[in-house]
């Protein structure tokens, strides 16, 4: 396992909320350029892993190495500069901003400080940052919503805007928390295609939490399975499907009484 092969490495990561241990000595690695699925039953700690990597919550113990740098020690605000961007399970766009302005938030770390704050992004029609954000919206097929206040837009559209915002940060590692949840089959297929493109063309490494196993099977090259804050399996989607421990975590152990009852 060479350091350069892995973009992200969690070392003995623990997180407690009060007396509840959500993650205990969790370790796993994500291959550079892979699309890694993070799966597990409800309460397994998947979203907590995302919150620790992105900096929404502080880590209790362990290390989170991104390209060899322990980002757990870096202030949450600065982590995006190291290449981490994410979406949220419950969409968290800025409801009072337009779709375009939300996408421009994704540019912020690249255009920061006093010079960035005074960047006339709405004043000049040809402003470079404005044009970049407009192009990103158009590429996602969202040009029609440019000026719409996002609070009033349909759920599926909001999810796409959130993805566009995360991509605007030019991440090296993109964390997607249930990107397909709440989408209809047509939207899910479109999302699958879009995410595959992101993975392939831009060389972004993806870490995806998803409950839709078909989606994971179609998208992911690697899968990591969590249960009660521990890693119980990892491998290719095919291998995971046949893993006894994984079946047990999802379906429970079939007891003799149940067998007789059925």
**CB-nearer residue toward other proteins: 92 or 202:** 92
| Minimum separation from the CB atom of position 125 to other proteins (A) | 11
Give min distance, CB of 91 to other proteins, in A: 7
Task: Compare residues 69 and 192 and give the one whose CB is closer to other proteins.
Answer: 69
Positions in the binding site for other proteins (CB under 8 A):
47, 54-56, 76-81, 86, 88-92, 94-97, 101, 104-106, 108-109, 111-112, 116-123, 129, 149, 165, 169
Question: Which CB sits closer to other proteins, 95 or 154?
Answer: 95
From the CB of 212, what's the least distance to other proteins, in Å? 17
The distance of closest approach from Cβ of residue 39 to other proteins in the complex, given in angstroms and rounded to an integer, is 16
Q: What is the DSSP string of the chain?
A: --GGGEEEEEEEEEEEETTEEEEEEEEEEEETT-EEEEE-STTSSHHHHHHHHHTSS--SEEEEEETTEEGGGS-GGGGGGGTEEE--SS----TTSBHHHHHHHTTGGGS-HHHHHT--TTT-TT-HHHHHHHHHHHHTT-GGGTTSBGGGS-HHHHHHHHHHHHHHT--SEEEEESTTTT--HHHHHHHHHHHHHHHHHH--EEEEE-S-HHHHHHH-SEEEEEETTEEEEEE-HHHHHT-HHHHHHHH----HHHHHH-
Task: Name which of 121 and 216 has its Cβ closer to other proteins.
Answer: 121
């Amino acid at each position: 396992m060479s350091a350069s092969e892995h973009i992200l490495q969690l070392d003995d990561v623990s997180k407690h909320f009060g007396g509840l241990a959500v993650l205990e000595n969790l370790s796993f690695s994500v291959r550079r350029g892979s699309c890694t699925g993070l799966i597990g039953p409800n309460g397994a700690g998947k979203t907590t892993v995302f919150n620790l990597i992105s900096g929404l919550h502080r880590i209790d113990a362990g290390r989170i190495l991104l390209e060899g740098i322990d980002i757990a020690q870096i202030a949450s605000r600065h982590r995006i500069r190291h290449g981490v961007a994410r979406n949220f399970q419950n969409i968290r766009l800025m409801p009072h901003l337009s779709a375009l302005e939300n996408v421009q938030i994704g540019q912020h770390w690249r255009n920061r400080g006093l010079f960035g704050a005074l960047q006339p992004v709405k004043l000049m029609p040809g402003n470079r940052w404005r044009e970049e954000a407009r192009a990103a919206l158009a590429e996602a097929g969202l040009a029609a919503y440019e000026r719409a206040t996002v609070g009033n837009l349909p759920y599926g559209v909001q999810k796409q805007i959130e993805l566009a915002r995360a991509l605007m940060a030019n991440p090296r590692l993109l964390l997607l928390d249930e990107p397909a949840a709440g989408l209809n089959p047509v939207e899910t297929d479109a999302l699958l295609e879009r995410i595959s493109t992101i993975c392939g063309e831009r060389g972004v490494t993806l870490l995806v939490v998803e409950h839709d196993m078909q989606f994971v099977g179609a998208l992911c090259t690697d899968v990591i399975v969590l249960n009660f804050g521990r890693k119980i399996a990892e491998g290719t989607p095919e291998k995971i499907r046949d893993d006894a421990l994984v079946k047990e975590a999802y379906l429970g152990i079939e007891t003799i009484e149940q067998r007789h009852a059925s």
